[in-house]
Amino acid sequence: MKPKEIQELIDFIAQSGLDEVNIETDQFKINVKRNSSNPAKPVDPVLPAVVPAPVLPALIPSTSGISQSPIPGQANNSPTSYFTVRSPMIGTFYRSASPDNPPLVSIGDEVKKGQMVCIIEAMKLFNEIESEVAGKVVKVLVENASPVEYDQPLFLVEPA
């Protein structure tokens, strides 16, 4: 095919409105495609529907690591309330300073404000957890050497 014939083929495609022409003979093969002057419309991506999140009551973190709550298993109308000593961090809960020592506190023990009640290991650091109230330990809520989460209840203390 001569250059003049190729040019005539291109002009023919432009005038006819065809987008593509394929010609094949024993001596050559030609494929001519035209870029459309009206490009295809871009497809709008399908976006998921926006669903509003449910409104939850605001949580106010306890700065002291302690909150007041009734003891589990007792009626809500009980006049006695207990303070919950909570974990101030994620880590491993230990009831004693070393495996050979007795627990720092047990059920029925009297604790003073500021007395160490357990240890939480976090990133190889041992953090002493102190009682924020004076009173009597009513319940130990976590097993020794167990992992604990932030704000997880550790002890119930009956205030003095």
Instruction: Name the pLDDT band for 8 (thresholds 50, 70, 90).
Output: confident
Q: What pLDDT was estimated at residue 14?
A: 72
* pLDDT, tens digit, 9 for 90 and up, residues 64-94: 444 455 545 444 444 469 999 999 999 999 9
Least confident of 33-42, 51-60, 105-114, 131-140: 51-60
Full set of structural domains in the chain with CATH: 3-33 (no CATH), 66-159 (2.40.50.100)
pLDDT score for 19:
73
pTM for this predicted structure? 0.52
Percent of the chain with pLDDT over 70: 70
How far is Cα 155 from Cα 111, in angstroms, rounded to an integer?
Answer: 12
Q: Between residues 18 and 48, which one has the greater pLDDT?
A: 18
**Average pLDDT estimate for 125-147:** 96
